[in-house]
Structure formats: C-alpha cells, structure tokens
C-alpha cells in the first residue's frame, strides 16, 4: 500500500513564483550566493533543513505554556525531562542553537594544541574547535568521500584504524575528544551504524578519551539503523536513539533539525564536572543555565518536538520523501551522492559540470543556475564551504556538492516533483553553465556572505585567433 504524509495541513503559507528575468536580477544582486537571496523570491526553499521545520499543533499549543521567568522556569524542567526520557542523559544546558553548544563544549574540552577527531567536519563545529586551539582530524571511512559508492549502507562510520592511528601518533592525552556526528551532514546525510558507535565508544574508553556526539540528526540516523542494520527492524526508533546515546558521554544538539523547532539547541551530558563548567560559561555567552538564550516557549516547543521526531511513521515518511526526490534524479541520470541520505539530496557538481575545475566553484555556480531556472534555492557544499587552511590556501574537498535540503513537514511530494523537473532540465543544458569567481571573500565561514560573479566566456585573443581553435585560449585574469 502506498503511504502519504502522516499529517494533514492545518495552516498554509502562500508561495510566490517569479519570472526568469526577476530571478536573474535577484541572483546577480545576491552576488550569485543563494545565502544572500531574499526568501520572498525563492519558490521552493531547499537551502537548509535547519530551523525551517513546520511545528505541530501540539508544539504551537506548548508555546502558550512557556514560562518566561528569568530563573528557574518550569519550561526548563520540561526540556530536561524530555531529554532524560528520550535521550537517557541526565544533565542539560540549553543554548540558542547548535553552534552555541559547540562553542561551550569546545572551550570546556579543548586545551590549545590538542586534536579533535571526527567523522568529517561540519563548518561551525570545526570553527569552534579551531577557535579553542584544536586541530580537527577527519577519521571518517574513505568511501564517505566518494559520491558513487552506493553500496555502503553506513557511509558515515568512523574508520577505527584511522582513529587508532591518530591515537598512536599523537597520544591519547593529546586528543581532546572524539566528535561523532549522526548523521554526517557534509558526507550527504550518511548514517553511522550502531555497531560502529559501540566500537568507537569501546576504543575511546580503552584510551580514556571522551566520546561526544553531534546528535543534530540523531532521529534520522536511527531510521537507517532500523532499516539497514541487522537486529533492529522491529525496534522502535525511540529505543534505537536511546541505545545510540548510551555509548556517548554527551552531545551537542541543534534543535533546529531533529527537535523540529525553528530555534534552539542544547548540551546534554553525564558528567557533573562538565555540567558545572557549562553552566559557568553559558551565563557568559548565552544566558542563565535554565534558558541559555531561548525564551521559555522555545524550550517548551523543543521538549515536544524532540519526542515527535522519534515517531516511526514520521521518520518513515521523512526519509522516504528525501529518497523520493533522489530516485527521480537518479532515474534521469543526474549524478547524486549515493545512497541518498537523511535530510537532503546532494548533487555531485563535479560530475554534473566536468568542464569546470574546482577553482571555478562548480557547486556554487550550479546552485545559482538552479535558482535562475526554477526559483528553487539550494546550497553549495564544496570548496567554498570548506574555506581556507591555516596557511591561507583553499581547501579542496573531495566532495563538491549542491545540497537540496528538505525542510521537515513543510513540502509535499508534488513540490519534490517540481524540484526534480528543474534539476533534470538543467542537466540537459549543463554544458552552458559557467563557473564563478570571488568579488568579495568573507574571512570566516565564507560561504554565508561572500559574493561572486560569472567568469566571462572564454574567447580567443584577436592576434591568437588564427592559431588556436575557439575556446582553447584562456584569457581569464
Ligand atoms: N552540526 C551539524 C551536523 C549541523 O548540520 C549544524 C547546522 C550544526 C551542527 C550547527 O547547528 O545551525 O543550530 O548552530 N547545520 C545547518 C545546515 C546550518 O544548513 O546544515 P546550528
């Protein structure tokens, strides 16, 4: 039997369609950076799944129960109870969003000069680790960097040999902590298996290393364990999540993803000592330990949402919708990261635009072109997102991707059909897509605010025209 969305729509938000000429002007005004577009010109907004969730009637009701007391608010107790029950961790410190939690934990766990190992970097996470004086080391399995390896069910797993080698090389005392992301955003929303979480936990324990989790998309990860890992087919995702977290010392959470809210985050942990330090820092950077930069109503909505996200019917549809889009693109021959992950379909921009070099920012160019084609907003996840290394050189990540990120409970499968049609149309006309170059490069997290312009079409210099065929001479500055 076919299934539909496991909810019905109670309130709608009208969308606006623009003309191609309007979109051409809008993307030029935005410096060819989809982050700088106004949302009013985005017909279907797949920039991110972060904070773009549709809340349920129960969450909206809970908002009315927010306790806005400066200290000791009842809303904090509700969040604490939800985290204790759903995640099995005893202590919570709220933060305004995930990176607030990353900031605090990086300050607490990292001594300058240490290393943090993780299964692929995430932009804000790595910045906070580096600002605290650490060097991030990627210990994800090799296949995660290969978009074509569709045969790997848990592409987000940590490579235990790489982690062991890092411990042998640097010494356990120089590893501040291991950061295990579930799922792995930059790899394409790829999951981590329960067996891997367990094995990483054992390796960390043997070496006295703290295991932290970036639990931002833990609910989606649990669905893949249920679907793909032996022994979990009949286990509810709520139980799988509890088992996943039983192996970690603590977590950072961006509630804007798998707690189904528009703003919010938290740290959760087992250690009283870490709790004490986090409480000390949260008052400096976020707010009192019972609100951490959020209002009481935000805490209430997050307490309800983090439980709703663990519902099997919700997760089946959620992951199914992402796959529904991915399958259409795959069937048309569009190169995407396989298998399709939990929150987004990632287009392989290198394979889509083989005529561009990575320094021409193919993913950035493709995201801009997709917007002009259709009003669909997507995001670059490639060389621009990767930024520069300590020596100021561009990092060249293996993955050069455009992310079509699906907000939770927001769009129907009819919207996915429109997105698929737009991408397939571009695929047919891909040869015409040109690269971009910087007009303004922002110093930190440059993908958010940098501006670009199209690289002028290559044409032969007049005096060389006879000797060289058209297009063979590069006259770019
Ligand atoms: N960790 C992961 C894996 C994330 O994807 C994000 C945010 C964060 C941490 C930071 O959380 O935004 O609440 O501060 N990802 C968003 C995205 C921004 O679009 O992928 P935050």
Mean pLDDT, the chain, as a whole number?
Answer: 95
CA nearest ligand 1 atom 8, residue = 98
- Closest ligand 1 atom, residue 264 Cα: 13
57-308: same fold as 20-49+312-456? no
Which one of 3.90.1150.10, 3.30.56.10, 3.90.730.10, 3.10.20.30 gives the CATH number of domain 20-49+312-456?
3.90.1150.10
Ligand 1 centroid–CA 48 distance in Å is 9
Q: Give CA–CA dist 383/356, Å, rounded.
A: 13
Ligand 1 centroid–CA 19 distance in Å is 32
Cis preceding-peptide flag for 183 (omega within 30 of 0)? yes
Q: Which residues line ligand 1 (CB under 6 A)?
A: 48, 50, 97-99, 122, 124-125, 181, 185, 214, 216, 254, 256, 265
Q: Give the pLDDT band of residue 469 (cuts 50, 70, 90).
A: very low
Residue 422 phi, psi dihedral angles, 5° rounding: -65, -45
- Closest ligand 1 atom, residue 379 Cα: 19
- Number of other CB atoms surrounding residue 5 within 10 Å: 16
Mutate to test the pocket of ligand 1, among 257, 265, 342 (most ligand atoms within 8 A of CB): 257
- Closest ligand 1 atom, residue 181 Cα: 3
pLDDT value of residue 444: 87
pLDDT value of residue 460: 55
Q: Give CA–CA dist 353/322, Å, rounded.
A: 23
Question: What does the pLDDT look like over 98-117, one tens digit per residue?
Answer: 999 999 999 999 999 999 99
Ligand 1 centroid–CA 180 distance in Å is 14
Check: pTM over 0.85? Answer yes or no: yes
CA nearest ligand 1 atom 5, residue = 185
Where would I find the H helices in 309-344?
312-331
Ligand 1 centroid–CA 168 distance in Å is 31
Kind and range of the H or E run holding 346: strand 344-348
Whole-Å CA distances, 209 to 80, 106, 117, 164, 171: 26, 15, 11, 12, 10
The CATH number that domain 57-308 falls under is: 3.40.640.10
pLDDT value of residue 428: 97
Residue 356 near residue 435 (C-beta atoms within 8 A): yes
Whole-Å CA distances, 19 to 41, 196, 226, 373: 10, 49, 44, 10
| Owner of token pair 């019972």 | 290
* 262-291 CB burial, b ≥16 within 10 A, e <16: bbbbbbbbeeeebbebbbebbeeebbbbbb
Residue positions annotated with a catalytic role: 70, 122-123, 214, 257, 381, 447
Q: Domain ranges in the chain?
A: 20-49+312-456, 57-308
Q: Give CA–CA dist 151/300, Å, rounded.
A: 41
Q: Give CA–CA dist 190/143, Å, rounded.
A: 11
Q: What is the CA radius of gyration of the chain?
A: 23
Q: Give the pLDDT band of residue 467 (cuts 50, 70, 90).
A: very low
Q: Give the pLDDT band of residue 459 (cuts 50, 70, 90).
A: low
- Closest ligand 1 atom, residue 214 Cα: 1
CA 299 to chain centre: 22
CA nearest ligand 1 atom 19, residue = 48
């Amino acid at each position: 039997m076919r299934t539909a969305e496991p909810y019905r729509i109670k309130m709608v938000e009208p969308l606006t369609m623009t003309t191609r000429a309007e979109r051409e002007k809008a993307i030029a005004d935005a410096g060819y950076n989809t982050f700088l577009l106004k949302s009013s010109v985005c017909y279907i907004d797949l920039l991110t799944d972060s904070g773009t969730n549709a809340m349920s009637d129960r969450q909206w009701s809970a908002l009315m129960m927010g306790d806005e007391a400066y200290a000791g608010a009842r809303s904090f107790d509700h969040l604490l109870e939800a985290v204790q029950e759903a995640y099995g961790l005893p202590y919570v410190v709220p933060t305004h969003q995930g990176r607030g939690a990353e900031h605090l934990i990086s300050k607490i766990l990292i001594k300058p000069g240490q290393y943090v190992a993780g299964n692929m970097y995430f932009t804000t996470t790595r910045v906070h680790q580096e600002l605290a004086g650490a060097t991030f080391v990627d210990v994800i399995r090799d296949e995660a960097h290969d978009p074509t390896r569709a045969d790997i069910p848990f592409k987000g797993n940590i490579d235990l040999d790489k982690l062991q080698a890092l411990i042998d090389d640097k010494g356990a005392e120089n590893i501040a902590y291991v950061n295990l992301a579930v799922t792995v955003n930059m790899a394409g929303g790829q999951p981590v298996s329960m067996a891997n979480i367990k094995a990483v936990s054992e390796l960390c324990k043997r070496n006295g290393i703290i295991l932290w989790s970036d639990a931002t998309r833990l609910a989606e990860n649990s669905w893949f364990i249920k679907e793909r890992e032996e022994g979990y087919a009949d286990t509810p995702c709520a139980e799988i999540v509890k088992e996943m977290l039983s192996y970690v010392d603590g977590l950072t959470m961006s509630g804007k993803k798998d707690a189904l809210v528009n703003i919010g985050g938290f740290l959760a942990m087992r250690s009283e000592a870490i709790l004490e330090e986090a409480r000390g820092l949260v008052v400096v950077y976020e707010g009192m330990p019972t609100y951490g930069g959020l209002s009481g109503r935000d805490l209430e909505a997050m307490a309800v949402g983090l439980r709703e996200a663990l519902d099997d019917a919700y997760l089946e549809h959620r992951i199914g919708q992402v796959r529904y889009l991915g399958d259409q693109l795959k069937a048309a021959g569009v190169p995407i990261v396989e298998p399709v992950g939990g929150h987004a379909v990632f287009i392989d921009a290198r394979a889509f635009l083989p005529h561009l070099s990575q320094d021409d920012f193919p993913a950035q160019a493709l995201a801009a072109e997709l917007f002009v084609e259709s009003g669909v907003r997507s995001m670059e996840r490639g060389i621009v997102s990767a930024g520069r290394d300590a020596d100021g050189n561009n990092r060249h990540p293996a993955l050069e991707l455009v992310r079509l990120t699906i907000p939770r409970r927001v769009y129907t499968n009819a919207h996915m059909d429109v997105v698929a049609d737009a991408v397939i149309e571009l695929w047919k006309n891909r040869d015409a897509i040109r690269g971009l170059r910087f007009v303004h490069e922002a110093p930190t997290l440059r993908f958010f605010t940098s501006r670009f312009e199209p690289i002028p079409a290559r044409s032969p210099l007049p005096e060389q025209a006879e000797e060289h065929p058209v297009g063979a001479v590069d006259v770019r500055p």
